[in-house]
């Protein structure tokens, strides 16, 4: 099989590697994305060497190596280069099978039975009879999409078809609906074949012949250990079906580092580490030490990050911390943003509280819409008072400034959706066609199931802003201690994954004889409904109130805002007023609203004068 260089791959797709520019990404185009034709950044020529510096797609990760990297890669172990392979179809697959064999002829101790089970093919040098290539099938949606090709001894730069991080793990197609409690993840294809073979032989020996039980699932990344976390993250849902996810990467420093990085992207509480006395599983197989490998497999220990950092590492950590962008707030909350020194940092719990019917969800929808377009961190929402469709309508209404819920008939609402087709697409999709945010819509399960879904949002989909609206619907029926446990879980997630929780809270009813909270009484942290652990856990607590029963339109839609706690700045106090414009479904900073609409300022001033007059009458 002919070898293709990076230059040849670029030429095949019409990419000029020697000029600095943006062009269409071949991989994005295959998936129907990159309509603008500028996802791939080409870095041009190195002034000193005259060599091209490669290209990279910031949307899908497709990489064309620089000439220097390509030279290095041809002599290295497997790396995470995300090449686009040569053409692949049924005819090419038939030709490959005709030219190759499942029989490895003793290569590295692998059996024909094992290789055939996973569809691994071998090409041999016609002159020497030695193995020349080994081809590992890759799948997407459990359909064959190509072969990752190993040209002996360690050249992986010439795949056939799709073999990158968007594929399933190698071997996964054999275990799609596995009922096993354990899955073993190793670093590469040869180690996957070796580990599976040793565990299968152990099961057969115990059964006194061929075991009738399902074999232990063993898989490996198709992109090497160093980039394994990307592919494991994409297969989060499949991996979450197992009770134990056992990592078995090479027992060198690079392997241990890759394993730790991968563990951070897997379902919490399920990751185990397997410790080996030899470098990798194939070393056990070649040495005839299968029993030692099996013993190490069953001795795998729960993975626990050390959590210990030497002071010599703190300098670098400081620079890392200050460079993480904050979560900005929408323009109407500019006073609040200033008090927060530019926004909300990652790794915090923020509580927002208001009385029933105050319009909490409207405020939060405004925040969410702003974050969808302006936050550097992906939002994920758990909306408990609206289903998926209702929530989408609310966001669209705000985006276009036209409240769909004010329409009375089905025909009017359908017409509303139809005329905002472009706005709908823009709201749900980024320029590259990927989602702008994620939403948990299935909320009928247990608290444990919901936590697992939120963890999936955070780990697999990399959501770093999680909005829970309202928190009390999640905690309803739980004791104070159980609520405290949930808040400890939130704290744990903020530390382990640098995620920020935005908890929307109901408040308690006001006491007898007091002004009702729903009628605009000032609120305090102790008014949060539920355990005191909620407001105590908050790095920031924001309270809002309005008099929803007021006859005056201004008073009815005027929201008072108070920051009662902000741990990172220490600033607290009243943060001005927000005004809700019902017709445009928009929240404004009151001062900005009055500046924008002078006639409204006159109405506002007349109302304030009336209030002042009523106050004087009360004094008498």
Of 195-199, 247-251, 308-312, give the lowest mean pLDDT range.
Answer: 308-312
Q: What percentage of residues in the chain have a pLDDT greater than 70?
A: 94
Q: What pLDDT is attached to residue 546?
A: 92
What pLDDT sits at residue 531? 95
Average pLDDT over residues 503-525: 80
Q: Give the residue, 62 or 80, on which the prediction is more confident.
A: 62
Residue whose structure tokens are 């290095």: 72
Is the pLDDT at 144 greater than 60, yes or no?
Answer: yes
pLDDT of residue 323: 86
Mean pLDDT on 327-350: 97
Pairing type for strands 271-273 and 500-505 reads unpaired
What is the full DSSP assignment across 208-244?
Answer: TSS--SPPPPEEB-SS-STTHHHHHHHTHHHHTTSSE
Share of the chain above pLDDT 90, in %: 66
pLDDT mean over 71-87 = 53
Distance CA(605)–CA(603), nearest Å, equals 6
Q: Read off the pTM.
A: 0.77
List, for residues 583-613, the tens digit of each pLDDT value: 888 899 999 999 999 999 998 898 888 888 8
Q: Are 487 and 537 in contact (CB under 8 A)?
A: yes
Please name each of the domains of the chain with its CATH number. Answer: 1-73 (no CATH), 85-302 (3.40.1360.10), 331-589 (3.40.50.300)
The residue among 339, 372, 344 whose CA lies nearest residue 576 is: 339
Q: Is pLDDT of 270 > 70?
A: yes
In this structure, the dihedral spanned by the alpha carbons of residues 106, 109, 113 and 114, taken in order and rounded to 10 degrees, is -140
150-162 tens-digit pLDDT: 999 888 888 999 9
Q: Tell which wins on pLDDT, 263 or 76.
A: 263
Helix, coil or strand: residue 276: coil
pLDDT of residue 620: 39
Cα-based angle 517, 519, 524 (whole degrees, multiple of 5): 30
Reported as a single tens digit per residue, the pLDDT across 412-451 is 999 999 999 999 999 999 988 889 999 998 666 789 999 9
CB-side exposure of 302: number of CA atoms within 13 Å?
A: 6
- pLDDT at residue 82 is higher than 60: no
Per-residue model confidence (pLDDT) at position 583? 80
- Per residue in 390-406, pLDDT (tens digit) is 999 999 999 998 889 99
State pLDDT tens for residues 547-559.
988 888 888 999 9
Pairing relationship of beta strands 349-353 and 500-505 according to DSSP bridges: parallel
Q: Is the pLDDT of residue 526 over 90?
A: yes
């Amino acid at each position: 099989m002919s070898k293709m260089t990076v230059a040849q791959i670029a030429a095949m797709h019409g990419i000029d590697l020697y000029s600095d520019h943006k062009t269409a990404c071949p991989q994005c185009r295959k998936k129907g994305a990159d309509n603008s034709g500028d996802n791939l950044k080409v870095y041009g020529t190195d002034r000193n060497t005259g060599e091209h510096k490669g290209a990279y797609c910031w949307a899908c990760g497709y990489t064309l190596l620089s000439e220097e990297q390509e030279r290095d890669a041809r002599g290295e172990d497997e790396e995470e280069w995300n090449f686009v392979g040569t053409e692949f179809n049924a005819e090419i697959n038939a030709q490959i099978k005709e030219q190759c064999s499942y029989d490895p002829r003793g290569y590295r101790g692998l059996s024909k039975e094992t290789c055939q089970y996973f569809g691994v093919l071998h090409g041999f040098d016609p002159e020497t009879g030695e193995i020349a290539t080994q081809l590992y099938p890759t799948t997407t949606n459990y359909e064959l999409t190509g072969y990752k090709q190993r040209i002996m001894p360690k050249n992986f730069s010439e795949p056939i078809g799709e073999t990158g991080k968007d594929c399933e793990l190698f071997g996964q197609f054999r275990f799609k609906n596995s009922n096993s409690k354990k899955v073993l993840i190793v670093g590469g294809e040869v180690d996957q074949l070796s580990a599976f073979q040793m565990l299968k032989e152990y099961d057969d020996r115990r059964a006194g012949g061929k075991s009738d039980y399902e074999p232990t699932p063993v898989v490996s990344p198709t992109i090497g250990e160093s980039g394994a976390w990307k592919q494991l993250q994409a297969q989060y849902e499949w991996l979450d079906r197992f009770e134990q996810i056992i990592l078995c990467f090479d027992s060198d420093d690079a392997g241990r580092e890759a394993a730790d990085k991968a563990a951070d992207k897997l379902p919490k509480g399920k990751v185990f580490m397997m410790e080996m006395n030899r470098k990798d599983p194939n070393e056990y197989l070649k040495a005839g030490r299968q029993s030692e490998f099996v013993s190490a497999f069953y001795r795998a220990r729960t993975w626990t990050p050390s959590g210990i950092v030497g002071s010599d590492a703190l300098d670098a950590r400081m620079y890392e911390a200050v460079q993480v962008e904050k979560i900005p707030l929408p323009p109407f909350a500019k006073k609040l943003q200033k008090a927060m020194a530019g926004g909300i940092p990652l790794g915090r719990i923020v509580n927002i509280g208001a009385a029933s019917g105050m319009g909490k969800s409207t405020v939060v929808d405004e925040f969410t819409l702003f974050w969808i377009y302006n936050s550097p961190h992906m939002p994920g929402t758990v909306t408990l008072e609206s289903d998926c469709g209702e929530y989408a309508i609310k966001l669209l209404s705000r985006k276009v400034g036209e409240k769909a819920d004010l329409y009375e008939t089905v025909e009017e609402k359908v017409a509303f959706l139809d005329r905002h087709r472009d706005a709908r697409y823009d709201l749900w999709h980024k320029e590259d066609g990927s989602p702008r945010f994620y939403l948990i819509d299935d909320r009928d399960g247990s608290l444990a199931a919901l936590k697992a879904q939120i963890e999936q949002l955070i780990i697999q989909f990399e959501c770093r802003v999680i909005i829970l609206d309202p928190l009390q619907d999640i905690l309803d029926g739980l004791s104070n201690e159980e609520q405290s446990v949930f808040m400890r879980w939130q704290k744990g997630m903020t530390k382990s994954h640098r995620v920020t929780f935005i908890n929307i809270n109901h408040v308690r009813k006001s006491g007898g004889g007091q002004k009702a909270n729903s009628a605009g009484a000032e609120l305090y942290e102790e008014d949060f409904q539920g355990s005191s652990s909620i407001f105590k856990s908050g790095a920031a607590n924001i309270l809002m109130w309005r008099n929803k029963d007021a006859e005056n339109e201004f008073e009815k839609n005027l929201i008072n805002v108070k920051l009662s706690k902000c741990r990172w700045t220490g600033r607290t106090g009243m943060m001005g007023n927000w005004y809700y414009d019902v017709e445009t479904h928009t929240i404004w900073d009151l001062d900005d609203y009055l500046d924008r609409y002078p006639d409204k300022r006159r109405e506002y001033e007349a109302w304030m004068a009336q209030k002042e007059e009523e106050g004087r009458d009360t004094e008498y």
